[in-house]
Structure 1
Amino acid sequence: MDDRARSLLKTLVERYIADGQPVGSRTLSRASGLELSPATIRNVMADLEDLGLIASPHTSAGRIPTARGYRLFVDTMLTARPVDIHHTPPEMAGVREQLQPDQPQRVIAQAAHLLSNLSHFVGVVTAPKRASVFHHIEFLRLGERRVLVILVSPDGDVQNRVIFTARDHTQSELVEATNYINTHYAGLAIDEVRNRLKHEVEALRGEIAALMQAAVQAGTDAMAANAEQLVVSGERNLLGVQDFGNDLGSLRKLFDLFEQKTELMRLLENSSLADGVRIYIGGESGVVPYEELSIVSAPYEVDGRIVGTLGVIGPTRMAYDRMIQLVDITARLVGNALSVPK
């Protein structure tokens, strides 16, 4: 394409994102600032349509961008503004305060909610993969042969599990078991503890061995229960998007995607391999069953290591520059919140 065609395509995409209406040659002439006749603009638009970059809806003489047109716009015509988390846009004021690092899971839920609220679309966040390691363990007597196991991970996350023991234990016995386990096993991976127990169980007092084995099983159960680490917020926002709010068949597929989560997890895990913000437009992701939908995602780091991904899912007709900035800043703030020493 020549510069004239690129300029008209850029203007058409920007107008359509702003107004949501097919863009006609007269509007394009005024908005582009180019001294071109209506006939010339119509010829250029015909060329852009032949290239598959714009399309003409049946009900209008104007044109709208195709997924391919959006892709070209995002890749070559969008000027990304530098992100400074210390000087966030006005609408993001207070976000840092809302991402309180009291518990990792709460930060993740807050981040998904913020992304949804600020974008008016769907916010998605994958939680950091939990290390199968416990930092601290504690046993509390709940009643006869019922014990509460409290497992604290290195990142401060707390898991509680109730176990049933073969015999009743006094609280002093549970304190003794707690001290022994934390002294000898804290910081080890659950699998490593399990392997060591196989060899050391005979040397341990019977009640400590039984409690240790129960704790290992509780830790395994806790990890299995949290294997699905994806938080989705704001799905109902898509019902109000004019581009596809009336297409119930596709919306049903989309809500199935949010409910099942497996395919979406796979997509976001692939996004974590990207350097910075990644954008999927239309069917590019191979996951979202919708041509009129885009995903803007970015990985986030904790202590210099990528541990998860977050993003916004919305219509292809979205303000990409704003979504890129929103996702980028939120990724950095989440990483900072989770990196705060516990």
Structure 2
Amino acid sequence: MDNLEKILSDIKGADENSKAKAKERLDNLAKPLGSLGHLESIAIKISGITGKLDNPMKNRHLIIMSSDNGIVEEGVSCCPQNITLIQTINMLRGITGVGVLAKHAGAKLKVVDIGINADVEYPGLYNKKIRKGTWNISKGPAMTREEAIKSIMIGIEMVEESVREGAEVLGTGEMGIGNTSTSSAVLIAFTGADADMVVGKGAGLTEEAYENKKRVIKQALEINNPDKNDPIDVLAKVGGFDIGGMAGCFIGAAYYRIPILIDGLISAAAALLAYRLNPLVVDYMFPTHCSAEPGYKRIMEELKLQPMLNLDMRLGEGSGCAVAYDILDAANDVITKMATFEEATIVNDFLVDIR
């Protein structure tokens, strides 16, 4: 774990001086103080990451982690496991929700096989497979500790590549049947939340299947007894390779000082894992939309973050990130292109003179 420990220890928080300069600029724009709300806080936060006032977000990358989960054996999903493989390929074909929305946003989609339960090769697919899916967490750990660390390092490596390619903002997404169960287990392990309050119906379970899902998650936590003070232990015992990979993306974004977007529940669970490994990573995270999954709001409370949008979305895949890229652009245009009171007064004087 030496490399991961070094990366975590080298992460620095936001540049508070740059944030103060951004706030000063925004407070002097020709508008009521704070009247652009969350757009202003986004602009300030981005400046704290980059150290600059002007931060165009045209080079956009969206990293998708695809992996299967052994817990599907317990009937926690209404979808068959091979949907993970099918939809992963369909992402690359550009015909899934995130495929369409990423194209709309002009974002480069980087799809990673970190643990699909099949032998698969497809043009553009990153082969980073740890193995063919995790073990069934209702019977024992999801993975070994070494595999948990490896999944995180894969995410960091993907961010490193994107930074080399000039990415200015990152998004996170996933594909993995059963991963609302693993995400809920991770959330409960860290927070002690009541399963009845934070476990959702995922892709649309019947009431009977929903009750079974909650029972299975409770059983997994009881059998594995993850140590909430050891985030790697939580990931290894009740998480998934996709969650570890996305956690690595959040850690990598903080290490390389680049903004990164949170999507829905699974992405948020990965963000919580990264936060527990180093709380400073939250300075680089931007939640995109308020997922309809009940556990999402609890994670936002833990991270003390506020989503940009509420579109009643629960698709996952990184779809919320693709929709939200332009909001970051809008925040940047506000701070760089709006006139200050002084500049606006000059314009007004000119208009008076020609009347």
Give the number of the structure whose residues are more often strand, by fraction: 1
- TM (normalized to structure 1)? 0.22
Could you say which structure has the greater relative contact order, defined with CA pairs below 8 angstroms and 6 or more residues apart? 2
Q: Which of these two proteins has the greater Rg computed from alpha carbons? A: 1
